[in-house]
Amino acid sequence: MDVPEQLSPTVARISAMLPELNHDPVMAASLFENVKSMLADAHDRYTHGDERGITSDLLLADEHLATGALHAEHLQHPAGAMLAAEVLFDEYLPVFVRDVGASSPEDLLRASRALHAGIWGRFPAGAVAYTEALRQRVTSANLDSRAHIARDLHDRVAHGILAGLQRIELALLTDPTDVERVAQLEAAATQLRRALGDVQNLAVALHARVGDDLLHCALTRHVKDLFPDNERLTIESRGAPARLANWRAEESLTILLEALTNWWKHARGSVVHVQFDWGTDALTVSVQDDGPGFDSDGSVDGRLGQSTMRERAALIGAQLRVKSASGTGTGVILVVPKGTL
């Protein structure tokens, strides 16, 4: 790598601090390109008298986000880059002052600020991208685990229930004369059919993913699998749809499917409407049915799974509200921020 002579001592010291760079030409090239970019930005700031601090609309520039993603991909913690930045500022400041010809106290202060802003302006974007990349890994691992559980539910639990149900139906066919026994077997068969349906729906819900879809499109797709040909369930979207961060979208889909599963369990005879309202800063989704409702002052977390839904909402910085009263139906309102973090 061609290193300008005035940068050679600094790059050598940084390389000694981060020996893994010696074995990773991609990261080494990225380091040097970032150093050149930082210094070019510092020179530009000083030349044009840019007195802005490092907090500006330039912090989340795509090239800076790409650097953070590269660090995450190579498992390089941002702390290493911060230490390298300290070395760069400490060792290069005298060179920078000489290059820009700063001599008066005012010029020296301006030079220090320009170099500081040029170097440290990269780190907010890098930290955002690094955090996002780690979140994507966690989300991917979580979805893979859910898919594995869904396969087990479908291939083992559901098949086991179905086998038991078939034995009961066989017993009903072979010995239909004992009225009491037949009634007991039919009751058991009814329970097994309900359990089989619940397990199958749970497997579908666990396997659900947003993928490349927008959230309302993903929900519509999965609703067709969970509640086929159900004219009592409608979905509407208003505003300009936008793509949410993957980890937010996947958790939001899980919350909404849980809300619809609750409707199916407790008020399937009622009409339910899902409304997406895409705002500037947040997405608001309401799931409203006209079923029997429940006493919101009572203890219903276990029945409705509210606690799990609230935990998932908290993980993505969303707000979840459940409104209901006896005879007035149930409403679930989810407000999801659209920001990167």
pLDDT digits (tens, 9 = 90+) for 110-135: 888 888 887 777 666 666 666 666 66
Of the given ranges (69-73, 137-141, 255-259, 270-274), which has the lowest mean pLDDT? 69-73
> 170 with 113: CB under 8 angstroms?
no
pLDDT of 269 over the 60 cut: yes
Residue 35: its pLDDT value, please? 75
pLDDT of 300 over the 60 cut: no
Q: Can you say how many angstroms the Cα of residue 39 is from the centroid of all Cα atoms in its chain?
A: 35
From CA 51, how far away is CA 29, in angstroms rounded? 30
pLDDT digits (tens, 9 = 90+) for 132-160: 666 666 766 676 676 667 666 666 677 77
What are the distances in angstroms from CA 168 to CA 177, 193, 222, 338?
15, 11, 32, 51
φ/ψ (deg, to 5) at 272: -130, 140
- Ranked by mean pLDDT, which of 69-78, 133-142, 303-312 comes out on top? 303-312
Residue 91: its pLDDT value, please? 80
Confidence of residue 336 (pLDDT cuts 50, 70, 90): very high
Of the given ranges (59-63, 218-222, 245-249, 285-289), which has the lowest mean pLDDT? 59-63
Which carries the bigger pLDDT value, residue 312 or residue 200? 312
Put residue 229 in one of left, alpha, beta given phi > 0 → left and psi -120 to 50 → alpha.
left
Q: Three-state SS string across the chain, please?
A: CCCCHHHHHHHHHHHHHCHHHHHCHHHHHHHHHHHHHHHHHHHHHHHCCCCCCCCCCCCCCHHHHHHHHHHHHCCCCHHHHHHHHHHHHHHHHHHHHHHHCCCCHHHHHHHHHHHHHHHHCCHHHHHHHHHHHHHHHHHHHHHHHHHHHHHHHHHHHHHHHHHHHHHHHHHHHHCCCCHHHHHHHHHHHHHHHHHHHHHHHHHHHHHCCCCCCCHHHHHHHHHHHHCCCCCCEEEEEEECCCCCCHHHHHHHHHHHHHHHHHHHHHHCCCCEEEEEEECCCEEEEEEEECCCCCCCCCCCHHHHCHHHHHHHHHHCCCEEEEEECCCCCEEEEEEEECCCC
Strand duo 233-239 + 272-278: pairing = parallel
Q: What is the pTM of this model?
A: 0.52
